[in-house]
Amino acid sequence: MRQILELLERDAQLSHDTIATMTGLPVAEVSEAIATWEASGAIRRYKAVVDWDAVDEDPTSETVTAFIDVSLAPARGVGFDDVAARIARFDEVRSVYLVSGTHDLRCTVIARTIRAVSDFVSQKLSTIDRVQSTATHFVLKTYKRDGDAFTAQEADHRLPVTP
């Protein structure tokens, strides 16, 4: 059954018939499993991975992505969960992870400008109780995201073979 989820994660547009063929399971079983996962929340949503740099759009509509590492003072009984949940509610925040290392949380933030990210950190994030420090890292170029490469495929220079 895990194979169904892995296939959907790779390509959410696969039909139930195609998944059944790829896994060797009956279509009814595939459909039932997917419906169960959707109802339980195991499948959160379906989405497209967009390379916004490849979209011919108004250059003033570009966005800035930043990874913000946050150090916290833990609280008895809740650890970091309450602060992580509060940070996750901000519209600018795309993800929040509890991580190992020198910081406690890693947040992905998307905003219109570097200044907007700066304002988010100084006016919203750093004012939360128990936030001790932050470290902001701006994305300069995306090479791969969500398993998809964002670099141009190298041309195939092999000679064609014909029978």
Q: pLDDT truncated to tens, each residue of the chain (163 aa)? A: 889 998 898 888 999 999 999 999 999 999 999 999 999 989 988 877 777 667 766 666 678 999 999 999 988 888 899 999 999 999 999 999 999 999 999 999 999 999 999 999 999 999 999 999 999 999 998 888 877 787 777 777 777 777 6
Q: What are phi and psi of 139, to 5 degrees?
A: -75, 125
pLDDT of residue 59: 62
Report domain extents, the chain: 2-40, 54-141
Contact 65, 138 (CB under 8 A): yes
Q: What's the pLDDT at 9? A: 84
Residue 160: per-residue pLDDT: 78
Under CATH, which architecture does the 54-141 domain have?
2-Layer Sandwich (3.30)
Report the half-sphere exposure of 45 (CA within 13 A, side-chain side).
3
Cβ atoms 87, 134 nearer than 8 A: no
Helix intervals (H) in 41-145: 81-88, 114-119
Q: How far apart are CA 2 and CA 159, in angstroms?
A: 39
pTM: predicted TM-score of the whole model, two decimal places: 0.71
